[in-house]
Amino acid sequence: MSVQAASSKINLPHVNLAVVGARGVGKSTFIQCALDMKHPPLSRSCTKKMSLEGVVYVVRLLEISLQEITFDGSEHLVWPQSLDDQALPIIDGVIVLHDVTNPSSITECSRILSECYPILGSCVVVFNGVIFSLYLLRCIPTI
């Protein structure tokens, strides 16, 4: 039984987090490590049941490239409508990855960082000798 099928019977709360970054920055590797997967993800939407302070959640990590994100006339962030031919769920938070050894990487992420608030947490992560900054953000709801 899939995580989604099991969670719908139990009615567990869902948390959808977008993992955003430039092409090749390590989004798939981050998802693989975060969800403790043995192999690289086959899909850009991966789920896992996780417990936090005694509450079990279904956490969905959605891999989204910077090139897929646009901005409307008011400069508000617009998510892609679908991911792997599936409707994109409501995004509860954003994990922004960028390569600190590449100055243009943070420039590319700056618009997303300015559209999301507050920074819930940030840290430096090292994948295969490359240093990344990671930000956990909450999205500004758009009407």
Kindly report, residue by residue over 69-117, the tens digit of the pLDDT.
Answer: 887 777 677 889 999 889 999 888 788 887 777 777 777 777 676 666 5
8: pLDDT strictly greater than 50? no
Question: What are 87's two structure tokens?
Answer: 């409707």
Question: What are 23's two structure tokens?
Answer: 């092409």
Q: Identify the residue whose tokens are 């590797």.
A: 29
Q: Which of 9-18, 47-56, 95-104, 129-138 has the lowest mean pLDDT?
A: 129-138
Contact 80, 69 (CB under 8 A): yes
Summary mean pLDDT of the chain: 76
Question: What are 108's two structure tokens?
Answer: 């590319």
- Identify which of 5, 44, 54 has the alpha carbon closest to the alpha carbon of residue 35: 44
Strand pairing category for 93-99 and 14-21: parallel
* Average pLDDT score over residue span 5-17: 71
Strand (E) or helix (H) holding 5: helix 3-10
Alpha-carbon Rg for the chain, nearest whole angstrom, is 15
> Cα 85 to the chain's mean position, in Å?
18
Rounded Cα distance between 9 and 28, Å, is 29
